[in-house]
Amino acid sequence: MAKIKKQEPKAKSSKKSKKKSKKGYKVRNWSEYNEMLVNRGRLDVWVEESVLENWFAPPTGKRGAQPRYTDKAVELTLQFGQVFGQKLRQTEGLVKSLFDLMLIDRPVPDHSTLSRRAETLTVKLPKEEKGVLTIIADSSGLKVYGEGEWKVRKHGYSKHRTWRKVHLAVTPEGEIRAEELTENSCADEKVLPQLIEAETANIDKLAGDGAYDRSSVYQLCQEREIKTIAIPPQKNAKIWRHGNLKTPPHPRDGNLRAIRKSSRQVWKEQIGYHVRSIGENVFFRWKTTFGDKLNARKLATQKTEARIKAVILNKMRLMGMPQSYIPS
């Protein structure tokens, strides 16, 4: 019989691949930030006198016409509902109770009025005055109705599962400078012009993920004279404008050449691409504060709901934010 020689197991390589461990962040102003988080749960409520004085719009002069609530009155009532996570009927009851406790003699818009007025309500996003700033563009999905994540993983999703897409332009300080809500089929680069046009200050830098790697985005940046464009080209990207042409070099080609010269990771560190994580942090704050769903069913009303949530996040930011740093 022929003897079968056993193959000895190969010796394991002594060189082990070492994964880069992420450096943890620490907060400098933990005591102040902790107090701010505590204050978010307080029930101290105040309403500006100017809002109460202009609670009703000027009378139309028509006989039998009912008093009409101003946009500020409707917006204030909807803000209470979003902060406390209430539907429209419960919002009506909540504000009535608050006004009774505060001894405010004003009627409260009923739920049908809130639903009707929310379709055409114009909500202005409060912003700080700035000269030059960095804009981070990002988007995320918000569910309208449909199955939960467990059911989708187990049995798949049905045709009735519907999402919306919220697009934000934020600063490295976490301030929301512009917001737009669209259907989930709308591409990110199609909404970016609306976010940029809403900004009156000079934009020095624009950061975004690979979804914004489009010629229309670079053309928009050149029209707005944005100096630094921190958008990673696709892995199979080609040079758009070669050096033998008499035209000036394209900013995307400069990014691509820098990546080829060193690496994608080095380019991201040099251009400051990682500031884009602030956009993800803002969406984390959004979904932990309000959840990942929209209560309204009509797109026009959903846009008002999303804009009011952005207004509330900006107001919460003014109460205090953590000052993070990486320990040496």
Residue with more model confidence, 310 or 39? 310
**Both tokens of residue 77?**
């009532």
Average pLDDT, integer, range 194-208: 94
Residue with more model confidence, 147 or 321? 321
Measured between alpha carbons, how far is 312 from 315 in angstroms, rounded to an integer? 5
Share the mean pLDDT of the chain.
86
Q: What is the pTM of this model?
A: 0.83
- Asked if 29 contacts 86 with a C-beta cutoff of 8 angstroms, the reply is no
> Where exactly are the structural domains of the chain?
46-118, 132-227+277-319
Sign of CA dihedral 322, 269, 179, 211: negative
Q: How far is CA 173 from CA 125, 176, 257, 282, 287, in A?
A: 16, 9, 30, 10, 18
Measured between alpha carbons, how far is 237 from 98 in angstroms, rounded to an integer? 58
Checking if the pLDDT of 183 tops 80, the result is: yes
pLDDT digits (tens, 9 = 90+) for 101-116: 999 999 999 999 999 9
DSSP per position, 217-242: HHHHHHHTT-SEEE-PPPTT---SS-
Query: How many other CB atoms are found less than 10 A from the CB of residue 122?
Result: 8
Query: How many other CB atoms are found less than 10 A from the CB of residue 27?
Result: 14
Checking if the pLDDT of 48 tops 60, the result is: yes
Residue with more model confidence, 314 or 155? 314
The pLDDT, as a whole number, for residue 322 is 75
Checking if the pLDDT of 20 tops 70, the result is: no
Does the domain formed by 132-227+277-319 have CATH 1.10.10.60?
no
